[in-house]
Amino acid sequence: MRNTVKNLLVWLVLALVLMAAFNAITEKKESKQQIEYSQFIQQVNKGEIASVNIEGSVINGFQVKGLRNDKSAFTTNAPTPLETNFVSNLLAKNIRVNVIPEEKPGFLTNLFFSLLPVLLLIGVWFYFMRSMQGGGGGKGGAFSFGKSRARLLDKEANKITFADVAGCDEAKEEVQEIVDYLRAPQRYQTLGGRVPRGILMCGSPGTGKTLLAKAIAGEAQVPFFSISGSDFVEMFVGVGASRVRDMFEQAKKNAPCIIFIDEIDAVGRQRGAGLGGGNDEREQTLNQLLVEMDGFESNTTVIVIAATNRPDVLDPALMRPGRFDRQVVVPLPDIRGREQILKVHANKVPLDQSVDLPVLARGTPGFSGADLANLVNEAALFAGRRNKTKVDMSDFEDAKDKIYMGPERRSMVMHEDEKKATAYHESGHAVVAETLDYTDPVHKVTIMPRGRALGLTWQLPERDRISMYEDQMLNQISILFGGRIAEQLFIGRVSTGASNDFERATQIAREMVTRYGMSKKMGPVVYGENENEVFLGRSVTQSKNISEKTMQEVDAEVRRILDEQYEVAYKILDENRDKMHTMAKALIEWETIDRDQVLEIMAGKQPSPPKDYSDNVVKEAETEQPVAEASASENAQVPADTADAGSKAPEPEQKSEQ
């Protein structure tokens, strides 16, 4: 408020000065008629002039008009010097003459008015320079480029606490020590312990690193400076190092305090990573940060907390004890963590009794905290779109399908041949997945286009998976081949829809041979190329570590694995032709089948129609509506667990992995 009033006063004074200068330079003139000098002489001779004021060569006067002797003002310019007997002629015509001496401005006045525009420009420039420097020069230099952009977070404005952070209990315990130390340092100092100089929070995007930092600010009753790593980078050389110095100077004045640097990899990347010299602006910023954290003058009362999702590219000097003493990993939440996160976000929306958060947690493997927050928000949007007062389970299922697989493309028109081919393609994936032992259960099969895919077979794991085993990877290759084999056996033609299946199957087989040592012929050896990037400072050239002969053997082993699993999938589908026909028929009729219907088909039974499909049939019989209208109603309001499916990538199968 004070700065606003100050700016208004400055602009008001500036406006008054400009108005005064304008009035002084261009004085206000009365509205007068400009006449020619010859006309003036004629009017004098006719006796039509009443009075004149002579000021140098300018003659101002009044002329008489009409019988009522109305007077009007005029002005004219006379030649200089005036004619001889000019004034005598005026007096002879009974004209009142007033001579005004011409005043010439002094030297100082002329100098002031000539320099006034320059002075105004200098004043405006000086004002803006002072404003951009923060009001007083200082160490920041021109435009305050060297000033720190760290924002001091007020504890009254921040309402986030540890109660708002869920799914990362171990990370909360690690940072809880910092809060306890800042509140009661004597408890640790009596035992000889010291607070960590820095804490580096690592984790995948969306796991809650920044949220955890805000919770620290809400819990610790100390000043909290927040800044992004990109705020140090500027187009001018030396600005980043100057901002680091200024930031720590401000922190020392408010010690004990916490500095939070988000995305520190923007300035903390490994030095010497470029192909040029070491005099780099980013490296200067990093050097200054290293010195401030643990240099000749150690800041024992300033704690630095940083967050990044790329700890592998950080400089080793930044990672050593004494700078970042502790690395806190914020991982993707497990099933229990996902349930806790869903409870935190679900408290903000009205939930129906049908919502089962543990089931949602089991059905969202690999979701981060941000993904789960987006899931709850999308479910609330679905409920609002359907004019509901509470969010029910079908809304969450629709939201989950949309996040996993993309929005539905109900307006897309598929030819009957393409629809039939897609149905057999997806049935091939599903039948192979349900026949093999070490596979995840098939959650949903659909031929409803979603995103860029025409259909999808969706498998959900029963538990969080930490690692993959050889038999699981082999079965996954067989499942990927199921779509193409189904097209060969039951359509008699092959399409381009299996291109992504082949790509993923080949990648899995090659990694089994070259990375995981899952080939008896090649042995437990890593075969591959050095793929380190030049600008990460790891390697300048890419070198091959295998010979041409070995590469041929690797290719042959990859081909052997693919051929064997192709035969496995072919045998399964050839022996289960009846189940393939039943599943493809159900997909063509209902477009989507869920887990219960898949189990009925695999048991040799006829699948029961979806619940919403039966309801529509009953309503159709009661109201005697045409079948086309019932189908339109079905497509408009079918819940996700029976009618939604698709893919967010151009692939006919989506398999969730953890």
Kindly state the helix (H) or strand (E) to which residue 52 belongs, with its residue range. Answer: strand 49-55
**Is 123 labeled as ligand-binding?**
no
Kindly state the helix (H) or strand (E) to which residue 283 belongs, with its residue range. Answer: helix 281-294
**Is 501 labeled as ligand-binding?**
yes
79 Cβ neighbours under 8 A, 6+ residues apart: 37, 57
**Is 38 labeled as ligand-binding?**
no
**Is 190 labeled as ligand-binding?**
no
Measured CA to CA in angstroms, residue 109 lies from 291, 308, 379, 385, 446 at distances of: 59, 65, 76, 74, 90
**Is 204 labeled as ligand-binding?**
yes
Residue 435 burial by Cβ neighbours in a 10 Å radius (0-12, 13-18, 19+): buried
160 Cβ neighbours under 8 A, 6+ residues apart: 211, 214, 215, 217, 218
**Is 429 labeled as ligand-binding?**
yes
How far apart (Å, rounded) are the C-alpha atoms in residues 487 and 573?
A: 11
**Is 607 labeled as ligand-binding?**
no
Q: In what order do the strands lie in the sheet with 198-202?
A: 151-153, 224-228, 257-262, 302-308, 198-202, 326-329
Residue 214 burial by Cβ neighbours in a 10 Å radius (0-12, 13-18, 19+): buried
**Is 209 labeled as ligand-binding?**
yes
- Pick the catalytic residue from 426, 434, 591, 634: 426
Q: CA 589 from chain center: how many Å?
A: 42
Concatenate the DSSP letters of all residues of 331-394 into one string.
Answer: ----HHHHHHHHHHHHTTS-B-TT--HHHHHHT-TT--HHHHHHHHHHHHHHHHHTT-SSB-HH
Amino acid at 356: D
| Number of residues that make up the chain | 658
Measured CA to CA in angstroms, residue 478 lies from 23, 51, 232, 475, 504 at distances of: 91, 116, 51, 5, 11
Asked if residue 222 lies in contact with residue 181, where contact means CB atoms within 8 angstroms, the answer is: no
Catalytic residue at 426? Answer: yes
**Is 398 labeled as ligand-binding?**
no
**Is 483 labeled as ligand-binding?**
no
**Is 312 labeled as ligand-binding?**
no
Pick out the residues of the known binding site for Zn(2+). 425, 429, 501
Pick out the residues of the known binding site. 203-210, 425, 429, 501
Give the residue numbers annotated as catalytic, written as ranges.
426
Pick out the residues of the known binding site for ATP. 203-210
